[in-house]
A and B are shown apart, each in its own frame.
Chain A
Amino acid sequence: MVKKKRGVQEVSDVAEPVALEETTVDNSLRASLEEIKKYDGVIGYIQRNTTSASIDFKDPTKIMDYALLSSLAFDAGRDFSELFDIGDVKSTLVGGKNVKMLSVIIGENKISVFMEKNADAEKVLTRLQAS
């Protein structure tokens, strides 16, 4: 019993500041994503971490496909990082004929922003990295 109590104490001592920091990042990121959503040509975004996910699209019918593509882009980035020893992949831009997807890892969060081909991906990236 005593041991158990000590264990709980230790965890809460360490976990509190981390949780606070994560909340700050999440709030800042959420604010950035809300702002990015209003940028010209932005179709929507997917943000996920180990505990939660938020998805916001103008057309919700394609959410599953967008989510799958986002996940595959992160997987491919990880594979290339290992294969070519290029370090951590900071961003991935997948350009389609009409739509492009920008995927970024910020802390624990994996974010993919979908936008029209002519939208300013650089502006989106800068805003995300400032989060």
Chain B
Amino acid sequence: MDTEAYSSALKNALNEVQNICPDIKSVFLFNEEGQIIAGAENTPESVIIRAMDALDGLLEKAEIIDGVESISFEASKGRVNVSRMSDLYLVTLASEKADMNYVSTVTRVVIPAVIKLLDKVAPALLKDTPVQVEAEPEDSTFEEAEMASEELDEESEKMEHEEQAESEAKSETILPEAPVNQFIVENLGGLFVSGDTVRIDNEILLKWKELYEDRAIEEAEIETFGGKSTRCKLKPIKDSKDEGKGIIQMPEKIQAALDIRKGELVRVKPVVE
């Protein structure tokens, strides 16, 4: 949820950047792990994934120049700029007529400012506290406000009682909300591959196991951005060279069931038994 709020705020910022600079045809952000952070309204996810693929090798092999800070592709009908902002990469596609000084000023000022602000706000988003409703409706009188406040108090009291009764009835330890990770789909094939098993980074599996001590995590819920979901068995990626790339290795059978293909993005969360 917190990630969604963060992503949504950034998406709004990117949309605003496009409103200010109509010459920016496309703009999106991704991180070093190859995860999409946010994209403007008119930038489809499939395009972002292909753009990340195009940059993948270049970013990876840029150690020789001590890492990439910026990339600029100047073409006859437009220009693509990639700017590094701490651990994020901002990609902008501008038309050939664009005033690049203006585009650069807007993107390099607005986006880092929003990221900085969100980084400050993010800890608050992460807090697991219920939302406090302040009974202060703008268009109501003092009496109405007081009544509304009383109603809210009663309601919240009722809810508290219900929650307490529910938790007492269950008398179980409350588990933390299942973390949701995003992965890029990779094909998983071979003679010994089980058709109902997906593979992800062992590091993430360990983190999940750490989060749910003494609980077995053998399955995961996979959800596509098209709304389809399925439950699969979970195993760590075998080949160490495929680790840390933010991928999920998936048999074609599961890809077909989810109506997705290699290169697409899915949300994965552990199923805690």
Residues of A at the B interface (CB closer than 8 Å) are 62, 65-66, 68-69, 72-73, 75-77, 79-81, 83-101, 114
Query: B172: CB under 8 A from chain A?
Result: no
The 5 closest A-B pairs by CB, nearest first: A96-B65, A87-B76, A79-B54, A86-B78, A97-B66
Per the CB 8 Å criterion, the residue count for chain B at the interface is 32
Question: Which A residues are CB-close (under 8 A) to B96?
Answer: 86
Query: B61: CB under 8 A from chain A?
Result: yes
Are A88 and B62 also in contact (CB < 8 A) when A75-B57, A95-B69 are?
no
A-B contact pairs, 13 of them (CB 8 A): A69-B62, A72-B58, A75-B58, A76-B71, A77-B73, A77-B75, A86-B77, A87-B76, A87-B78, A93-B70, A94-B70, A95-B68, A114-B65
Question: Which B residues are CB-close (under 8 A) to A75?
Answer: 54, 57-58
Q: Which residues in window 165-216 of B have CB below 8 A to A?
A: none
Least CB distance, B83 to chain A, in whole angstroms: 9
Are the C-beta atoms of A90 and B65 separated by less than 8 Å? no
| A79 to B, closest residue via Cβ | B54
Residue among A62, A72, A80, A83 with most chain B CB within 10 A:
A80
Are the C-beta atoms of B58 and A94 separated by less than 8 Å? yes
Question: Which B residues are CB-close (under 8 A) to A80?
Answer: 51, 54, 73, 75, 80
Least CB distance, B40 to chain A, in whole angstroms: 14
Q: Complex: how many Å from CA A99 to CA B96?
A: 27
Are the C-beta atoms of B67 and A96 separated by less than 8 Å? yes
Are the C-beta atoms of A69 and B58 separated by less than 8 Å? yes
Are the C-beta atoms of B54 and A83 separated by less than 8 Å? yes
| B50 to A, closest residue via Cβ | A83
| B79 to A, closest residue via Cβ | A86
Query: B64: CB under 8 A from chain A?
Result: yes
Residue among B47, B64, B69 with most chain A CB within 10 A:
B64
